[in-house]
Structure 1
Amino acid sequence: MDKIYTLIMAGGSGTRFWPRSKTAKPKQYLNIFGEQSLLQDTIERFATFTKKENIYIVSSATQAKVLEEQTPMLPKENLIYEPVGRNTLPCIGLAAMYAEREDPDGVMVVSPSDHLITNTALFEDTVLAAAKIANERDGIVTLGITPTYPATGYGYVQTAEDITGNEKIKQFKVERFVEKPDEATAADYLKQGGFYWNSGLFVFKVSVFLKAVEEFAPELYADLRKIQADLGNPSYPETLDSIYRAVESISVDYGIMEHAKNIYLVEGNFDWNDLGSWESVYQTDKKDENGNAGMGEAIFLDAKNSYVSTDDGLVAVVGLDDVIVVRDGNTTLVCKRDNAEDIKKIVEQLKANNKSEYL
């Protein structure tokens, strides 16, 4: 294959990571582990096998300042700003229109910006195996994570024919994509076997993907072509704004993956965490002898299995177990670990009450 392109989707708001994740600097721009942000770690992960001039990022126009601050290694013209979020299919389609001008048959890898992946050598091998299928079979390939428990927070992919052959990494035709199940259904999937977690990582030829958009989302395809026709012109920002705001908000799973027949899966056995909440950060982080973990200066006294994140000063947790405490500027969060998914409701309440100073 001549070229590999990478698209990193970085427009999310990260509401379950409030109060550190805020409108001006959402989760993907935070250094939750180490000195680099999750976005910078993602760029570094792909830069080992993708030229930096072939790495694109799609983000929100409201995040332009922080995105440019964190990506001096990338050409500015590779930073694509959506005037408004419209889910993953329009986002990927927009970036594909950019890449198509360079090489219609180039292979594009699509990745979220906020995953934690540690064994990067195996990750690279897995992506390149997917790229080979995309190039040789004109397939749209997803990286499936081997499930370790009956998770209800992920979509699942059911595999069909095994096409591994002499390859080292398992590869399959895909039978179907299924929505997030309840726990009993997820447990049944694990018992049956042949089901994988949907990682949100996709690989395809640009031309193959755009053909699928034309077939399964023709109105979106027509709109994207109108946007592409104005690329490079002074009127482009106005064209993008007026057309993109009107397109349907739809996921790539629902819009393409559930309908297309040329779908494949490559088994992903690299260490993977989608970092969906503070609880998932706690689960991933190193813990002391009492099961406590965190970032910043903290004291745990008669406390177990708790997590602290503080940007400044000291946080002390006394006599409490299984709590999350996050301090950021003028905001502090205290919650039970079991309620980590409910943090987004705080953001909703702050918006409803026009408390923008805390967002």
Structure 2
Amino acid sequence: MENLYSLIMAGGSGTRFWPRSKTAKPKQYLNIFGDQSLLQDTIKRFASFTEEENIYIVSSATQAKVLEEQTPMLPKENLIYEPIGRNTLPCIGLAAMFAEKENPDGIMVVSPSDHLIENNELFKDTILAAAKIADEKDGIVTIGITPSYPATGYGYVQTDENITGNEKIKQFKVERFVEKPDEATATGYLKQGGFYWNSGLFVFKVSVFLKAVEEFAPELYADLRKIQADFGKPTYDQTLDTIYRAVESISVDYGIMEHAKNIYLVEGNFDWNDLGSWESVYLADKEKDENGNSGSGERILLDTKNSYVYAEDENLIAVVGMDDVIVVQDGNTTLVCKRENAEDIKKIVEQLKAENSNKYL
């Protein structure tokens, strides 16, 4: 599709991936699997069906150095920097303002930068199916992941009318978006059927999305128009900084998707993992050893099973007599925790911030 644009959101801090994820180089810039970073893998995935000059990235101004180092293939003017994080709706809205200058009727695909996605051909076919709906029906389309267990860490999307027709990939009108449920509620969703995990992948016509922002978030829309008016001017950086810091922090789900009526879902059956923690990295690794251990670097694991161990280059980690643990070494920091406590790693980062221990962040 000629008028296809991609937006990759890359401003996250990745606190649950400490100690490898640091302020200067968060999770999305790390090579968790293979030789390329998660961000570079995402760019490569989208470049298979989007011209590189049509790929935009929104990131934090504090990440400018590492972002530019990792994206020599993209025009620098396509790198958009937020002075402060304000959640996904302002982020997407800002990028849509840039894309509108190029092509107001262009189709934009929005994606996080840190997902692990395999079956790239099926992913491409799924995105193009969503783009067709966005183009023909003026719809805002989400990619729904078929749930494999009653996850409590994802939002869910309930589908309504099946509009698949003769298409190979299932397509639906959306009934509603629902917040992250407890386990009993999630179990009920799976038994009832018609519910999908919210992948955070969206596809829409730029003009249609901006119309929705104007309708459901009018104050944000007005602020974004003020910022757009200064694109290319010497005053742009100051205008962006002043206005953007004052906008409401709000997700696109809460701000748009829960209110708009022209919402559709395309079923995503490609291998997908949002890599939310070291535990999810362990579970996603298909190359575990005979004892169920995963990781990389120089390691000696004795009487140790079902563990993730990462050693930095030229360092060695030895683990003896421990099962179900995560051990990650990076520079002047080392993490050791039970796999079941992987979500609590962000509390370490919170404590370090409270203690102003910036040398470990």
TM-score tier after normalising by the smaller chain length: over 0.9
In structure 2, distance between residues paired with 1:297 and 1:263: 49
- In structure 2, the residue matched to 1:298 is 299
Is 1:323 the counterpart of 2:360 in the alignment? no
- In structure 2, the residue matched to 1:37 is 37
SS of the equivalent of 2:254 reads helix
Report sequence identity in percent. Answer: 85
- In structure 1, the residue matched to 2:28 is 28
Is 1:60 the counterpart of 2:36 in the alignment? no
Q: Deviations over 1:302-341 (max 9, x none)?
A: 0100001111311111000000000000000000000000
SS of the equivalent of 2:309 reads strand
What letter corresponds to residue 304 of structure 2 in structure 1? A
SS of the equivalent of 1:56 reads strand
Q: Deviations over 1:34-77 (max 9, x none)?
A: 00000000000000000000000000000000000000000000
2:340 to 338, 341, 347: 338
Is 1:205 the counterpart of 2:205 in the alignment? yes
- In structure 2, the residue matched to 1:97 is 97
Is 1:138 the counterpart of 2:115 in the alignment? no
Say which is worse superposed, 333-342 or 295-304, in terms of deviation. 295-304
Compute the TM-score of the two structures, normalised by the length of structure 1. Answer: 1.00
How do 1:1-359 and structure 2 match up within 5 A? 2-285=2-285, 286-312=287-313, 313-359=315-361
Q: Deviations over 1:203-260 (max 9, x none)?
A: 0000000000000000000000000000000110000000000000000000000000
What letter corresponds to residue 296 of structure 1 in structure 2? G
SS of the equivalent of 1:346 reads helix
In structure 2, distance between residues paired with 1:283 and 1:37: 19
SS of the equivalent of 1:311 reads coil
In structure 1, distance between residues paired with 2:298 and 2:141: 43
What letter corresponds to residue 65 of structure 1 in structure 2? K
What letter corresponds to residue 232 of structure 1 in structure 2? G
Q: Deviations over 1:169-209 (max 9, x none)?
A: 00000000000000000000000000000000000000000
In structure 1, distance between residues paired with 2:18 and 2:2: 42
| TM superposition shift of 1:297 | 1.2
In structure 1, distance between residues paired with 2:19 and 2:164: 45
What letter corresponds to residue 288 of structure 1 in structure 2? D
Instruction: Please list every run of at least 4 consecutive aligned residues from structure 1 whose deviation after the TM superposition is greater than 4 angstroms.
Output: none
In structure 2, distance between residues paired with 1:291 and 1:300: 11
In structure 2, distance between residues paired with 1:50 and 1:35: 22
Residues matched between the structures, number: 359
In structure 2, distance between residues paired with 1:275 and 1:297: 23
In structure 1, distance between residues paired with 2:250 and 2:296: 36
What letter corresponds to residue 10 of structure 1 in structure 2? A
Q: Deviations over 1:127-167 (max 9, x none)?
A: 00000000000000000000000000000000000000000
Compute the TM-score of the two structures, normalised by the length of structure 2. Answer: 0.99
In structure 1, distance between residues paired with 2:30 and 2:296: 12
In structure 2, distance between residues paired with 1:8 and 1:24: 19
In structure 2, distance between residues paired with 1:161 and 1:333: 48
| TM superposition shift of 1:299 | 1.3
| TM superposition shift of 1:2 | 4.2
C-alpha RMSD over aligned residues = 0.5
What letter corresponds to residue 146 of structure 1 in structure 2? T
In structure 2, distance between residues paired with 1:28 and 1:335: 22
Say which is worse superposed, 286-295 or 348-357, in terms of deviation. 286-295
In structure 2, distance between residues paired with 1:310 and 1:145: 33
What letter corresponds to residue 299 of structure 1 in structure 2? I
